[in-house]
Structure 1
Amino acid sequence: MSSKRRSASTNNPPELNREGGNSELNPSLRIDCGISSVDCEEGLTPEFEANIGLVEEEQNEITEIFLQIDQEKEETLAKLHFSDYVKTNFSTANNGSFTENAIKQPLIEKKHELDKTISVAIFVAIQKFMGDVVLTRPNKNTNDRVPIMTKVYRSLERAIKVSRRASVQNPTNNNKESKEYLSYKLKKRNSFLKKFTRQSSNTDDREEKAKKKEKLLREKFDNEPTDYLYDSGPAGVIANLPATEMEILHFIIGHAILRKDIRDELFCQVCKQLTNNKKADSCKKGWVLLSLISGCVVPSGRLFRYIRCFLRDAPKEYHDYSKYTRKIISRTAANGMRYHPPNWLEYQTSLARQYIVLPITFADGRLESIEGDSATTSAELCNRLANKIGLKDFFGFSIFIRVYDKISSLGSGMDHVMDAISECEQVVFGRGQKTEDAPWKIFFRKEMFSPWHDPSYDLIATELIFVQIMKGIRLEEYKVRSEEELARYAAIHYFIDNGCELDEAKLSKSLSKYLSENCLKWGRTQEGWTQAITSSFHEVCQEGKDTGQFKQEIVTEAPKKWVLQFAGLFEAFRIGGPKLTKNDVIVAVAANGFYILDEPYKIKAVLYYYNIVEVFASRAGKVRGQSFTLITIKGDEWTFISPNSQTITKLISTFLDGLRRRSKYAVGLQDFILETKQSKFSFSQGDVIQLVDEDSQREHWSVGINEKTKVKGCFPFDSVYVIPSLERPPDEFLNTFVNMKQDTLSRPKKRGAVVLSTGTIGRHNTHGLDTVA
């Protein structure tokens, strides 16, 4: 619960201020928004995008590592050297110095045979990248358009299935490797969640369903192609190593992203090849590789301190490389590990040890260049852009990236910008083109609104949103209901551009600026559109509004008219609550409520905010991962699994809290009577109370007017439920309180009786996200 919510009190009511005022402030919020992706190339399915995630334990480990950076004293580190780690942890068959020979076993002991195979193969890949060995790849398929990351992922899936199939065929065999690795994979990858949890809700027929599951798994296994990386051991992997430097990078670092137990091995292998290496060119490539690895993953806490020592002890001629890598690895530890290997832009800037310059396009066509690095997140980018243009109200503004006709939202949270660029390059690669020619473009635009958005608070933000809407209407991103409505938008746009002087000839020539190609081609004639817009233009001028007022009007209408186009979209899986025809859903957090979609924009259910009592996130189990639950006023409990559970919960909690603080409506949870010498105030269960902002209100008490009796009076907070809504909810909803039993009313009584406050989250530090339930 918010620290601003208070419990009920039996203290005496305050004296009424009969001239109580009303003040309302506009919010300026920042919340982490999840990524929602539209359309994918072959080999880049939504499941694949979601599957390369980090489990919660790894995120905790990253936090511990980052704290270690600050806490560990330099004098302590001065006593440590990477060679100490080599002596303690390397296998007896390996030393810590450069070699041109292949290794026969991993540097660090591995539990799983798969990790041993990967480790031996990666060492050869590192040698190839650094130029220490020359390998030829015979019979290379020039039409192979499957990204290396996809091949690695599919091969890892195959390896799990092989191990699992062996367990199925021999139930008595306690295949520890299969169970441990599969358990880890299930925790980590969302597509497995979708495949398996559907069939595990009923424990009575669990055994029968397990048999069906294994049969389907075996059938799919038998029908899949056999050209996988690990089927022939290390020799087979080495024989199929990719040819180009970028592909080798993806092969090396991709394994570290997907396999936690490979990360320390990878860092150690590169450090080994940089130790006592007399080849200058080899060393330079090795340092570049180490910086690129550090920009994607971090070693375990045990190894991290020794990597710091290795960077500290770098030879003078490579001091710039080590300094650059130290910054990168610290940033990765702070912002979290990556989901995709480095992109071409990262590789080029790493060679020059420079920051990455990202061109960002605004809705009004403006272009701003922002410096970034491998760890740059969408939140950092949004903050820098907002500061650069003087944006005050930047809640809901997000980073978008486009390649060809595919668009993805990175939100404004912890998603890595470089991951998005890597995905774009994989799409380009899938089309048979060079990754360095990837035509990606990054945008900064409005993605969602708060329920109480005030366009007058930040005119810079309003201008950006207005331009985005008008451009979206012209491109048919935002649909209008009729030609008359479209003519009005065009008329307002023309008025803003030219004032109240209408030149029909000029308007006729500039119709393409206001209307889509389809409208001009299939709708009215050019003369017909000119006449329609002219008629609307005269009506617009008669309204007496200035350009600023029209812009604010259009921005205010946007989240109501295009609810789902201005909402945060997230993938989810329903595991509790009212039944749906499909459990795999998309959920939308919009300005007016929570939407459940069967597919984009096909609404299956809506929970308006006034219907929601509480939302909270929790773990649904080791396999299922993070979940969130919504509790409605009628007691329904909707529960969903989503990798964005925390983000969704924060958004909805903040909206509910903010709406209650601004609400002017409450409903009685019990019969209440207060008699004083001067007056008598009462209400019954289900009566609607119009809340009044009173300067003299005392703690635990509020002031309101009973809609039925029109009498103003005081009442304790816990006797009413403050409705999270800026407008009066429909009678159908309000009537549900009249006949509710007291035990049913206990939930809103506990969770909904909140302090009436005009404070605005985001503009008042005491109401920040850290205080939200």
Structure 2
Amino acid sequence: MGDVVLTRPNKNTNDRVPIMTKVYRSLERAIKVSRRASVQNPTNNNKESKEYLSYKLKKRNSFLKKFTRQSSNTDDREEKAKKKEKLLREKFDNEPTDYLYDSGPAGVIANLPATEMEILHFIIGHAILRKDIRDELFCQVCKQLTNNKKADSCKKGWVLLSLISGCVVPSGRLFRYIRCFLRDAPKEYHDYSKYTRKIISRTAANGMRYHPPNWLEYQTSLARQYIVLPITFADGRLESIEGDSATTSAELCNRLANKIGLKDFFGFSIFIRVYDKISSLGSGMDHVMDAISECEQVVFGRGQKTEDAPWKIFFRKEMFSPWHDPSYDLIATELIFVQIMKGIRLEEYKVRSEEELARYAAIHYFIDNGCELDEAKLSKSLSKYLSENCLKWGRTQEGWTQAITSSFHEVCQEGKDTGQFKQEIVTEAPKKWVLQFAGLFEAFRIGGPKLTKNDVIVAVAANGFYILDEPYKIKAVLYYYNIVEVFASRAGKVRGQSFTLITIKGDEWTFISPNSQTITKLISTFLDGLRRRSKYAVGLQDFILETKQSKFSFSQGDVIQLVDEDSQREHWSVGINEKTKVKGCFPFDSVYVIPSLERPPDEFLNTFVNMKQDTLSRPKKRGAVVLSTGTIGRHNTHGLDTVA
């Protein structure tokens, strides 16, 4: 970039290591470097090599602070520290550093950057990994652009500045000066400064990146244009959405939903695929450009050009809310139905029997062609409804035609239209394919009941929280009616972010995960929404309410069916005691609302009967059970289920 003369890559070498991998190696203080230094300087011992690395790869200020902390306030110790620092400086400054850039396998950087993209990755990659050099990088680029008479050099400098701004931002102290520099740019570079101002503001709002710019970003920065992203839907439709370096998966989902008129877009996520690797970006704050950069690194690792990276972005359903209603948004239901049918054909969603598979094929044929069955047409189009393995290893073509024909007649006799069948399949999907329609996250167990393996995958599904040893290998399940509370803790120095689940029986499951905040928000949303919609509660203590007209009571552990009535008093609820079949009013804090849309099993409900009054595992009440207005009602709570 700028005035740097680009070197031609050696055609005889087959370097397939991405530049970011080299940058990581250069900052990891690898043991290979120490060995290399020992080989070139056999007189130096291992201790001297380690001192050399710690000195060269750390800031001098940090080095000085290290000795300052070790020394006391006495003059003797300060003098010793100064002498030691002087000796180390003289020793290390005279050390040769050429081996750091050797082409051998033990070098910190295998090869010098040879192309513009490699130079960009090298510069911005260090800025991403090292917070202490970001301000210096911004200042150096701004300095090179000031009073620079070379037009070509200025243009490349502005492109570099825009790409840096799309990945990192300067410190708060320097940020306002950078904005002033962009605002007061020369007229001939007004387009560059305007483009960079937008990019740096977006990066400041959406957070920094974790990967350097990709080839697509570089080309759009040269033209100072928005990035056009092609998005593929489950039905094969292709939509183009404008984005930039700071575009997140949440923004992309919102724009897609607005473009196609999607009302219920909770659980729809962005997926990206390159070769046989598929990754979910979710619908949060993950940067789309980071995912594309990862795909380009995979392509580069295979010895191919990054501009030819065959990545593809999809918009599809990833998870369901426990109260999903397919009749609310028919556009969303259509997309989900097509995704399920396509997934069954590709064996992404497994079925339990050939008869069930024949029924799905019959429903699919009915939706496409109506009640008129043409067996010859069905026989020719079996590949549209069945997988290759079924046609090759399962029944014969005639056998599948007969099975689908038999199921087709049963489907026609049910008297449902195409919309009802679609809603039926979409409703059954989160129950039949629980883990396939769940958010999967990596986690590490640090508390709770023991598992055979602490390094696990956790899944947030429509009916509960799953702990998996391997993909789809269930080790433990916590259904939502078993969970009392979930909360996340801040990241500490010893461990990262963590979240904790507390169950009815008092078990506390604690996991470390970089997605702790997302997992906590999802589970809290589901618990809050289920309690709002629940029809079942259980008595936390004995309660009696006598009036002149009636008497209503329940004991600890009695199941109460909640009744929605507009005439309810504030902080009171109306329900029917399942044991006595009597309907009455009761203060809301005297019961525990079960976060479930269906009646939980008796085994779970019996735990409340034997629960002691002073046990810590008991669900905490929100206030005292008194016949006054000092309690908190569940209808006054607020959560995130409005978004869901």
TM-score (norm 1): 0.73
SS of residue in 1 equivalent to 2:618: helix
Aligned pair in 2 of structure 1 residues 246, 756: CA closer, same or farther (>3 Å)? farther
Q: Verify the 8 A CA contact 1:404 1:439 in the aligned structure 2.
A: yes
Provide, for residues 37-81 of structure 1, a one-character-per-residue CA deviation record: whole Å limited to 9, x for no partner. xxxxxxxxxxxxxxxxxxxxxxxxxxxxxxxxxxxxxxxxxxxxx
Q: Distance in 1 between matches of 2:71 and 2:385?
A: 54
What's 2:184 paired with?
A: 313
Worse-matched range after superposition: 190-199 or 640-649: 190-199
What's 2:433 paired with?
A: 562
Deviation at 1:518, TM superposition (A): 0.6
Aligned pair in 2 of structure 1 residues 390, 765: CA closer, same or farther (>3 Å)? farther
Q: Is 1:719 the counterpart of 2:590 in the alignment?
A: yes
Aligned pair in 2 of structure 1 residues 267, 606: CA closer, same or farther (>3 Å)? same
Deviation at 1:559, TM superposition (A): 0.3
Q: Distance in 1 between matches of 2:453 and 2:67?
A: 15
Q: Verify the 8 A CA contact 2:622 2:632 in the aligned structure 1.
A: no
Question: Which residue among 415, 420, 436 is the counterpart of 1:544?
Answer: 415
SS of residue in 1 equivalent to 2:32: helix
Worse-matched range after superposition: 637-646 or 620-629: 620-629
Provide, for residues 738-769 of structure 1, a one-character-per-residue CA deviation record: whole Å limited to 9, x for no partner. 11111226741326999999999999999453
Aligned pair in 2 of structure 1 residues 550, 239: CA closer, same or farther (>3 Å)? closer
Aligned pair in 2 of structure 1 residues 712, 766: CA closer, same or farther (>3 Å)? closer
Q: Verify the 8 A CA contact 2:33 2:106 in the aligned structure 1.
A: no
Q: Verify the 8 A CA contact 1:569 1:589 in the aligned structure 2.
A: yes
Aligned pair in 2 of structure 1 residues 510, 274: CA closer, same or farther (>3 Å)? same
Q: Distance in 2 between matches of 1:217 and 1:552?
A: 74
What's 1:14 paired with?
A: none
Aligned pair in 2 of structure 1 residues 388, 136: CA closer, same or farther (>3 Å)? closer
SS of residue in 2 equivalent to 1:667: strand
Worse-matched range after superposition: 762-771 or 744-753: 762-771
Deviation at 1:270, TM superposition (A): 1.1
Aligned pair in 2 of structure 1 residues 161, 569: CA closer, same or farther (>3 Å)? farther
Aligned pair in 2 of structure 1 residues 173, 760: CA closer, same or farther (>3 Å)? farther
Q: Distance in 1 between matches of 2:64 and 2:583?
A: 54
Aligned pair in 2 of structure 1 residues 405, 340: CA closer, same or farther (>3 Å)? same
Aligned pair in 2 of structure 1 residues 235, 457: CA closer, same or farther (>3 Å)? closer
Deviation at 1:136, TM superposition (A): 3.8
| Aligned positions of 1:656-667 closer than 5 A | 656-667=527-538
TM-score (norm 2): 0.87
Deviation at 1:133, TM superposition (A): 3.1
Deviation at 1:236, TM superposition (A): 8.2
SS of residue in 2 equivalent to 1:574: strand
Provide, for residues 321-358 of structure 1, a one-character-per-residue CA deviation record: whole Å limited to 9, x for no partner. 01100000000001110011001000000000000111
Aligned length: 644
SS of residue in 2 equivalent to 1:229: helix
Q: Distance in 1 between matches of 2:31 and 2:93?
A: 14
Q: Verify the 8 A CA contact 2:504 2:617 in the aligned structure 1.
A: no
Cα RMSD between the aligned structures? 8.1
Q: Distance in 1 between matches of 2:443 and 2:205?
A: 27
Q: Verify the 8 A CA contact 2:534 2:595 in the aligned structure 1.
A: yes
Provide, for residues 381-430 of structure 1, a one-character-per-residue CA deviation record: whole Å limited to 9, x for no partner. 10010001110000000011111111011101100111111111111111
Q: Verify the 8 A CA contact 2:25 2:108 in the aligned structure 1.
A: no
Q: Distance in 2 between matches of 1:190 and 1:755?
A: 63
Q: Distance in 1 between matches of 2:373 and 2:509?
A: 54
Q: Distance in 2 between matches of 1:406 and 1:209?
A: 57
SS of residue in 2 equivalent to 1:751: coil
Deviation at 1:677, TM superposition (A): 1.2
Deviation at 1:143, TM superposition (A): 1.6
Q: Distance in 1 between matches of 2:87 and 2:352?
A: 47
Q: Distance in 2 between matches of 1:482 and 1:715?
A: 49
Deviation at 1:529, TM superposition (A): 0.3
Question: Which residue among 732, 736, 747 is the counterpart of 2:618?
Answer: 747
Structure 2 portions without partners, runs of 5+: none
Q: Distance in 2 between matches of 1:189 and 1:728?
A: 66
Deviation at 1:240, TM superposition (A): 3.5
Q: Verify the 8 A CA contact 1:229 1:240 in the aligned structure 2.
A: no
Deviation at 1:309, TM superposition (A): 1.4
Structure 1 portions without partners, runs of 5+: 1-129
SS of residue in 2 equivalent to 1:764: helix
Q: Distance in 2 between matches of 1:617 and 1:207?
A: 45
Deviation at 1:251, TM superposition (A): 0.7
What's 2:251 paired with?
A: 380
Aligned pair in 2 of structure 1 residues 758, 674: CA closer, same or farther (>3 Å)? closer
Aligned pair in 2 of structure 1 residues 673, 724: CA closer, same or farther (>3 Å)? same
Deviation at 1:508, TM superposition (A): 0.4
Aligned pair in 2 of structure 1 residues 298, 152: CA closer, same or farther (>3 Å)? same
Provide, for residues 195-253 of structure 1, a one-character-per-residue CA deviation record: whole Å limited to 9, x for no partner. 99999999999999999999999999999999995799999879942101111111111
Aligned pair in 2 of structure 1 residues 224, 746: CA closer, same or farther (>3 Å)? farther
Deviation at 1:156, TM superposition (A): 1.2
Q: Distance in 1 between matches of 2:244 and 2:204?
A: 13
Deviation at 1:375, TM superposition (A): 0.5
Aligned pair in 2 of structure 1 residues 434, 220: CA closer, same or farther (>3 Å)? farther
Deviation at 1:501, TM superposition (A): 0.6
Q: Verify the 8 A CA contact 1:575 1:640 in the aligned structure 2.
A: yes
SS of residue in 2 equivalent to 1:248: helix
Q: Distance in 2 between matches of 1:674 and 1:197?
A: 73
Aligned pair in 2 of structure 1 residues 185, 235: CA closer, same or farther (>3 Å)? closer
Q: Distance in 2 between matches of 1:608 and 1:602?
A: 17
Q: Verify the 8 A CA contact 1:194 1:573 in the aligned structure 2.
A: no
Deviation at 1:515, TM superposition (A): 0.4
Q: Verify the 8 A CA contact 2:529 2:639 in the aligned structure 1.
A: no
SS of residue in 2 equivalent to 1:710: coil
Provide, for residues 156-199 of structure 1, a one-character-per-residue CA deviation record: whole Å limited to 9, x for no partner. 11259989999999999999999999999999999999999999
Q: Verify the 8 A CA contact 1:662 1:756 in the aligned structure 2.
A: no
Q: Verify the 8 A CA contact 1:721 1:753 in the aligned structure 2.
A: no
Aligned pair in 2 of structure 1 residues 342, 184: CA closer, same or farther (>3 Å)? farther
SS of residue in 2 equivalent to 1:605: strand
Worse-matched range after superposition: 310-319 or 295-304: 310-319
Q: Distance in 2 between matches of 1:344 and 1:161?
A: 31
Identity %: 100
Q: Verify the 8 A CA contact 2:103 2:111 in the aligned structure 1.
A: no
Q: Distance in 1 between matches of 2:62 and 2:598?
A: 40
Aligned pair in 2 of structure 1 residues 265, 198: CA closer, same or farther (>3 Å)? closer
Q: Verify the 8 A CA contact 1:158 1:228 in the aligned structure 2.
A: no
Q: Distance in 2 between matches of 1:299 and 1:255?
A: 14
Deviation at 1:262, TM superposition (A): 1.5
